[in-house]
Amino acid sequence: MTIKWRPELLVDDGRIDDEHKRLIEIINCFGAKRSHSKSRLTLIILSDYSRNHFLEEENVMLEIGSPGYHEHLVEHNWLIYTLLSIICTFNSSSPTCDVGMLRARASSLLKHWLVNRIINWDVPIAEFIGNYRRSCPDIPTIHNTQVACKTLHSNK
């Protein structure tokens, strides 16, 4: 089963959504039938991309004073730990092990986690983000909203 982007996953119609779409692509790529080494490499790419995405999201949440920051951080740390555990399992398994079963279990976990995380964690903060952006209408994207707002408000 592949994850498909759908409107209920929309958070900011910008950078964060683009990053979520990329995470979906990587997880779908991991779920495809691939060799042991390609599956492992895809997991490493997913881990690196997730870390960067999480830092971006966390910075945005801090910049705009979004509620639930600490809970979000715990959730991010849990996924990174889970990804590292899956990578360790791939590293310790032989190329002749049942990669399909290992990949299916990991893929199911990742897909379930990502979709639920976006719907249950990110979408609820979308309203907060939207309200914040409406208070600073000249900001085209969510990135660096705090700096832009400070600049706008200091010029009044």
pLDDT tens readout for residues 102-139: 777 788 878 888 888 888 878 887 777 777 777 776 55
Report, as an integer, the average pLDDT of 83-95.
80
CATH number of residue 88's parent domain: 1.20.120.50
Q: Model-level pTM? A: 0.74
Residue 156 has pLDDT above 60, yes or no: no
Structural domain contains residue 56? yes
Residue 105 lies in a domain: yes
Sorting pLDDT into bands at 50, 70 and 90, what band is 146? very low
Q: Does 12 map to a domain?
A: yes
17-62 pLDDT, tens digit per residue, is 898 899 889 888 887 777 778 888 888 898 999 999 899 888 888 8
More confident call, 95 vs 81: 81
148 against 2, higher pLDDT: 2
Q: What DSSP designation does 137 have?
A: T
CB-side exposure of 69: number of CA atoms within 13 Å? 13
* Domains of the chain: total: 1
Q: Per the structure block, which two tokens stand in for 155?
A: 């010029």
Dihedral over alpha carbons 77, 113, 40, 76 (to 10 degrees): -10
Residue 102, domain extent:
7-154
Q: What is the pLDDT of residue 92?
A: 82
**Is 2 contained in some domain?**
no
pLDDT at 148 over 60: no
Q: Flag whether 1 is in a domain.
A: no
- Backbone φ and ψ of 32, nearest 5°: -70, 155
pLDDT, position 48: 92
Contacts of 54 (CB under 8 A, 6+ apart): 76, 79, 80
- Does a structural domain hold residue 150? yes
pLDDT computed for residue 124 by the predictor: 80
Residue 138 confidence (pLDDT): 56
